[in-house]
Structures are given as C-alpha cells and as structure tokens.
Amino acid sequence: MVSGNVLKTDMLNGVEMVRVEYSTLFLDKKKKTKRLQENVSSDRIRPQQPFEKLGERLSFELMDKVEAYHNDGWCSGQVE
C-alpha cells in the first residue's frame, strides 16, 4: 500500500476491506494498460478532493493541514 499519499481510486467491492483500482498507478508504468488494484481498509477511503475554481486564491496559515498533487498522487502535509 502506498503510505502517506492520497490517490484517486475507484472502489470495486467490500465492506471492512475494499478492493480499489488506482486511477494514476499502473502495473506496467510504460504501457499504462492495466491499473494497479489492491485491498485497503475501508477507514482509509474518503471522498475525492473538491475542485478549485479557476482563479481562486487559497491562503494557508502555519500548521494548516494541506494536500498537494505530486508524482501522480495527493500527498498530505502541514504548513511550516
């Protein structure tokens, strides 16, 4: 499981453990023909990030929890 990153997935099935299919991770990174699937605990599943409006400026303060899209996935962090 990719730890510390939040990746876009499609839930395939399950209750306590769910099968997910990653939207941006592939078994063959060069061909990108088969998406990576794995089982994850349902407590790690959350809604998709809301989209920002074009031109909208966001402001952050020290210690705010944030997420940034990097290397095909969302990484969580904190403003320092």
Q: Is the dihedral of CA 6, 7, 12, 18 positive or negative?
A: negative
Strand 9-14 and strand 17-26: pairing? antiparallel
7-34: average pLDDT: 76
Query: What is the CB neighbour count within 10 angstroms for residue 6?
Result: 16
Tens digits of per-residue pLDDT, 55-67?
777 788 999 988 7
Query: How far is it, in rounded angstroms, from Cα 24 to Cα 74?
Result: 11
Boundaries of domain holding 53: 5-78
How many domains is the chain partitioned into structurally? 1
Q: Which residue has the higher pLDDT, 30 or 4?
A: 30
Overall residue count recorded for the chain in this entry: 80
pLDDT grade for 2, boundaries at 50, 70 and 90 = very low
pLDDT tens figures, 31-45: 888 888 888 888 777
CA distance linking residue 7 with residue 20, whole number of Å: 10
